[in-house]
Structures are given as C-alpha cells and as structure tokens.
Chain A
Amino acid sequence: MPTISVAPFGPQHPSLLEPIHLKLRLEEEKVVGADIVIGYNHRGLERALEIDYKRNVFLSERVCGICSFHHSTVYVQAIENIMAIEVPKRVRLIRTIMLELQRMTSHLLTLGHIAETMGYENLFMQTWREREDVMALIDRLAGNRVHYSMNTIGGLRKDLGYDNTKDIEKTLTELGPKLREIRNVFAKDSTFGKRTRGVGILTKDNARRYGAVGPTARASDVPYDVRLSSYAGYGVEGVKFRPIHREEGDCYARTLVRADELLQSVDLIMQCIDLLRDEPILIAAKGNPTGEAFSRVEAPRGELFYYVKAKGEIRLDRVKIRTPTFVNVQCLAEMVPNCQLADVPVITVSIDPCICCTDR
C-alpha cells in the first residue's frame, strides 16, 4: 500500500497567473487525484452590476481583462433583448470584428503561456510578439488596448472608418503568414509534442458529463460553439465558418484548436469587413428596461452566459454571470489523475483558466 501525500498547487504558484488552488494527491511522482478550490478573487461584481444598468456597460468590461469586449457585448445584448432593440447590421458586424480581434489576443496569450509553462521561452516570446501587433491594432481602432469601451446599449460609441478597415486588412494580411508559422511550430515541434501529446486527456464522455465549453470541449470531439447560435455578426448572411474540433482530447489538441482558431478569426474578420455597409451605429434606447433576458457569446474560453432581470428602474433586480472557466476548471479533476506532477502546470494552463472571471 503506497503512501499518498498531498501537495498544494496554487493559489500562489510561479506558473500560474491567477489564484486557483489544486490539492493534489500524489503517489510518489504520480498524481492520483485532485480537489479544486476557487474563490480567492471574489469581488462581488454581480451585486455591483445591480446598481445602475447604464453604467454597467463599463463595469461589465471590468469583470475580466482578457475578454472585456465579450463581457460588455453579452451584457449589452441582454439589455437590448429586454428593451426589444434590433441593432443595425453594421453594429453587429463591427462587434464581431472586435470580438474576433479580442479572441486573437486571448488565444495568442494562452499559446504563449502554455509554451512558457513548459519552459519554451523562445516560442513564448514569438507568440507574444505577434500578439503585440494585434494589441496595437486594437489601440488604433478602439482607443484603448484592453478596455475598448466601444459598446453601448443600442449600438456602438465608436465607428470604424474607412481608414480603420484598411488598417485591419493591412495588419492582418501581414500577420497571417506569421500566425501560420507559429501554428506549425505548435503542430510539429517535437519538444512541444512530447510534453503535450497524451497528457491530461479529457474523454468525449467526460467533456459532455462536465458540460465543458469552448476549445476545451472542441478538443475532446464535442463541436459545441455558441457562435453557431447566430448572435452579433455570426448570423449575418455571408459570414461562414465551421467550428474547429479535434478528437484527441489531450493538451496537444487543446493547444492546436486555439492555434487553428487564430487563423479562423483572421478569416472571419476579413469576411465581416467585406460586408460593412453605411448604416447608423446607434439606436437610441428610451425609458428603463422591464423584464428578463439571457444572452450568450462564445468568449475565447467558451460559452459566456449572462442573465439579467430588470424592473423598470435604473437598478436591476439580478445579474447572473456564468463564465466558461467555471465549468472547464472542474474538468481538471478528470484530466490530472495518472499524470506526472511536473505535467500539472501544463494541463492547468491548457484549459486557459481565467479565475478573474470565474470568481467575479
């Protein structure tokens, strides 16, 4: 009967950017089980979001820094549903462009983070160098690198002009080959493959059982993508895409799904730019919202869900946020057993945990 020892992983750990705590049960170097503890970063944002529905557009962006525009879009969509506002096609397309640009920054961040976690500093630097180009592009488009503040109830606060769209096309055309190169490094590099292939497997059954979302689910052969539900510009006629999914379910597959989605994002943005027509970008909202609605978007980490209940006042009755990491982080309990202790950081980072959103 071997002895089982318990080792803590997090909430403060050199390879983690955010506070998540795994209680690992070890049999020598082999992990036999894990308990997951979250909640180190609770800020009471759901309560704060009840105070003023107009100011929430800015507050909801601050739930998470890496998917800020996804948060504000999903909130604004919920309020627009309640107030029965049909936003123009141009607004939906511009939102889609910004959503996809943000997905690119987020995926490049994660890819770099995975490489860095396994000690591949060179690849990490490469990935983040390309990320800087996207961040600078967003700065030029929105006026800020992280919190775009472009959304508002009923439309957008800032339009994309002709120069902006040309800028996007130029930047992405230059970036495309570089991204393809990075993708091929992740796909073919032997060092990377040895650390990730067959490590941290999430089977298709388990992915369904835990309700995994986003790239984590798609890497386990569950082609579930909220973008298929046609919110924002994904429902506009002429925008075509097919969710990327793989069958292996290991860290390698999760990384490759993200790398492929980078190229898909470039493609989607180009499609949206071609469809932009002159239209108003803001429909004025009258009165206060009454009623309830939920809204979903496909954030970089998976399905992001907001439920909003309004009572005809500035105050809201309830805002409920379900973030993608909240479900994905539970899948770790199935991925970690039977792997080596040294692989735990890689597996944890491969689901791209955003504890900041999850604890909100």
Chain B
Amino acid sequence: MSMWMNTLKNLFSKPATRLYPAVPAAIAEDTRGRIVYEMGRCIFCGLCERRCPTNAITMDKANKRQIVSRARCIACGVCVENCPTDAIDMRREYAPPSTAPELHVYSTTLTEHQFTVLSLPPFERGKGPPRPPSPPSEGAPVAIPGKGGEEGRITLDSPASAIMSTRVLTLYEDDTVRKALQIMVNQKIGGLPVVDVNFKVLGIVTGTDVAKAAGKEKDGILAFLFPKDGKKSDTAQEQRLRKTMDMPVHEIMTSPAITVPPDTPLREIAAVMGKNAFDRVPIVNSDGRLVGIVTRRDILRAIAASIEACPP
C-alpha cells in the first residue's frame, strides 16, 4: 500500500535526478579530480614519478617537463602528498573528455597550471596506454655553455656545478644491502649516496662498506659473488653473507658523508678527495638537498681539459 502512495507522490514531486549537463554535477569539496603541476615550484626531484602507483608520471628533466598520462592516473593523491615543494595540486574538477589516450605535458615555459596535450595513437590491443618516450639516458655528454672556465672550458677552477652529474642514483636508508649491490654492479658504479625523503644526504655506501660488512675474510664478498668452481662455501659464512644482504644500508653506510656546495672549485674538491681517500663527493645546495655528485673521474677529466687548455 505504501508503494501506491509513493507512486502518487512521485508523480507530483520534483525529480530526484539532476538534468546533467544543463545543471552541473555536484562535486564535493575534497573530491580528488585530477592533478595539476605548478612548474615554477618543481625542483625535478622525481619523487612523484617514483611513488606513483600506476607509473602515470614521467619526469623529463632535460627539457624541464612533467608528463602525466591521463589514462594511467588514478587520482590517488600520492604525488601530492610526497611533493616536497607543494608543486602538485589536486583539483576538484575532472579533466575534459577525450577520445584518444593523451598526455598532459606541464613545462616551465608555460604559465601556471597550464599544460599542452600530446595525443597518442589509439591503444594497441593488449598493450595498455602508451607511455611517452623515455628521457635521454644519463651519461650522454651534455655541453653546459657559459658555466665552465673563461671560454666555456672546464678547468680546475670551474665550480662543481659545471661538471657534476645531476642524475644521481640514490638509496633510502631502509633499502637493503642487496639492492645497493645490485645497483652498483648493474650500473657499474662504486658508491651510492643514502638520502631521506627530502633528499638530504645521510651517508654514502661504497663497495668497500659492503665488503667490510660481508665478512672479515679477505675474499668474503668475492667468494659469495663468484663461488670457486661451483664449490660451495661453508654454510656459516653463507648464512652470514645472506644476513648481510638483508641488512638496511643505514647500518653499513659511512656517515656523515662529506658534502660540498655547488660553487666549490674543483681544485678544492680534489683536495678533499685526496685527503680522505674518497672517490666521490655529493654536492648539496644551501637547503641541504642533494643536487649532484662529483667523482674522481670527473676531476681527472677536468685536469686533462686544463692541460689541453695550457699547452707547455
């Protein structure tokens, strides 16, 4: 009986639905709609790219761009939480509809919160949303005009910022020694700075640290990595090594690490290296944030360049 009354009531009352799109949708105050970048604040630390659960964000540091794949973004807000400079904002509006997968490209050359849309070819079957081309690989020589010596050459008096590598592979303090070793072996580098979430340098882990931790025997770590003729090492040693591999790196790292500001001349860095028998020195800015690293090889290059610059 009550449903009869209900039917009659509904005949003469206002509709419960909204005449969308004539009447806009009601969006709540805290709705997570889409993310926007304010590129003026972005320092290209890469935290958003690394923490994004769906790999929706690609950082293009060389061209100062952040690329958001719209089809991948799930608007979870992890990047907003992790951004150290509040460069990412969660808007309560939804992105306009599109018919093809698109990338939103935020660039320092655009004004605040503006982005250009890069349309991609439609999905290939079974491949998911296409990803943007990967940024140029590190290690490729990049000319830095006007940053070196007088004629743009690198000399021992150039500041560290002229020669340092700016894409630094880092570790967090709770990463395992196994991960550190994997990165060192795969990337053919000898040491990694350990940083916290704000990119403050806590210490440095080198191959020597790992070897020291792995055992006092002179060939402890080597025996573990390259067992002789398939002969098994004794179990106690093996167990200790496995335990070492699972240790967090902050237990074995050299701390505190000696760091220098970016305007330090290479000559001084070379002196620091020689005095402490270091192979690499992290470069930090005035906020204590890691911005680059200078290795022994960089210094050697600078010496070679300066010899060329002033022939005998």
Contact = CB atoms under 8 A, between A and B. Distances in A.
A122 B3 contact: yes
Contact of A189 (B3, B28, B54): B3
Contacts of B174: 286-288
A229 interface: no
Interface stretch (B72-80, B103-111, B154-162): B72-80
A238 to B, nearest CB: 28
Interface string B72-111: 0011111001000000000000000000000000000000
A149 B76 contact: yes
Interface string A259-292: 0000000000000000000000000001110000
Contacts of A52: 53
B86 to A, nearest CB: 17
Nearest to B26: A136
Interface stretch (A138-146, A218-226, A295-303): A138-146
Contacts of A287: 174, 248
A149 B16 contact: no
B74 A147 contact: yes
A129 B16 contact: yes
Contacts of B29: 140
B131 interface: no
Given A129-B16, A136-B26, A287-B174, A149 B77 contact: yes
Interface in B1-58: 2-3, 6-7, 16, 26, 28-32, 53-54
Interface residues of B, number: 23
B246 interface: yes
A20 interface: no
A97 interface: no
A312 to B, nearest CB: 6
Contact of A312 (B26, B28, B176): B176
Given A185-B2, A189-B3, A149 B32 contact: yes
B81 A157 contact: yes
B77 A157 contact: yes
A144 B31 contact: yes
A149 B77 CA distance: 9
B3 A144 contact: no
Given A157-B81, A286-B174, A313-B176, A136 B28 contact: yes
A123 interface: yes
Contacts of B30: 140-143, 158
A46 B248 CA distance: 28
Contact of A184 (B2, B32, B54, B78): B2
Contact of B3 (A143, A158, A185): A185
A126 B28 CA distance: 23
Contacts of A286: 174
B31 A139 contact: yes
B53 A140 contact: no
A228 B199 CA distance: 46
Contacts of A123: 3
A313 B245 CA distance: 11
Nearest to B52: A55
Contacts of A185: 2-3
Contact of B31 (A143, A181, A184): A143
A123 to B, nearest CB: 7
Interface string A1-34: 0000000000000000000000000000000000
Contact of B74 (A58, A129, A157): A58
A87 interface: no
B213 to A, nearest CB: 17
A143 B16 contact: no
A141 B2 CA distance: 33
A140 B28 contact: yes
Given A55-B53, A122-B7, A312 B32 contact: no
B200 to A, nearest CB: 17
A144 B75 CA distance: 9
A90 B31 CA distance: 23
Contact of A143 (B6, B28, B246): B28
A56 to B, nearest CB: 9
Contacts of A122: 3, 6-7
A38 interface: no
Interface of B: 2-3, 6-7, 16, 26, 28-32, 53-54, 74-78, 81, 174, 176, 246, 248
* In the complex, the 10 A-B pairs of residues with the closest C-beta atoms, listed nearest first: A55-B53, A140-B28, A143-B32, A139-B28, A143-B30, A58-B53, A149-B76, A129-B16, A287-B174, A58-B76
Given A58-B53, A288-B176, 6 more contacts: A58-B78, A140-B28, A140-B29, A144-B75, A149-B77, A287-B248
6 contacts: A57-B53, A59-B53, A129-B16, A141-B30, A142-B30, A157-B81
